[in-house]
Amino acid sequence: QVQLVESGGGLVQAGGSLRLSCVASGIIFSRYAMGWYRQAPGKQRELVATITSVGSTNYRDSVRGRFTISRDNAKNTVYLQMSSLKPEDTAVYYCNADLQFWAVVGGRGSWGQGTQVTVSS
């Protein structure tokens, strides 16, 4: 059974940085594709970034160049380094995991509980 625990959220001023972490358990982490999603109040959950089991990454256009997704298989952890944060980045951030990359892209993998990121102007 996949368990995902996110951390690292908080309140930050515009232009600041945060690093989110998602620790996985119950799986052979290195075999899993991982993704970060976010959901702002009143909006649908949206895909932010993905990383395959071999480390290939993809980003939504609005965060490309500001956010970096990475993984540490020895620590069963996926990270989202967020820089140059904007108020529109405010959301609950969730990680998603699945053996199939396209399941992560489709939001059909397992979810964590989320961590709140608030960016003040």
Over the stretch 60-104, which tens digit does the pLDDT of each residue have?
999 999 999 999 999 999 999 999 999 999 999 999 999 999 999
Integer CA distances (angstroms), 68 to 83, 88, 111, in order: 9, 17, 20
| Band of residue 59 on the pLDDT scale cut at 50, 70, 90 | very high
What does the pLDDT read at residue 1?
A: 87
Write the CB contacts of 121 (distance below 8 Å, at least 6 apart in sequence).
14, 87
Mean pLDDT over the full length of the chain: 97
Residue of 114, 94, 105, 96 whose CA lies nearest to 34: 96
Mean pLDDT value across residues 44-65: 98
| Band of residue 42 on the pLDDT scale cut at 50, 70, 90 | very high
| Count of Cβ atoms closer than 10 Å to residue 26 Cβ | 12
What element of type H or E holds 105? Answer: helix 101-105
Residue given tokens 């956010």 in the structure block = 67
Q: Do the Cβ atoms of 34 and 94 come closer than 8 Å?
A: no
What does the pLDDT read at residue 66?
A: 98
What does the pLDDT read at residue 54?
A: 97
Q: What is the CA radius of gyration of the chain?
A: 13
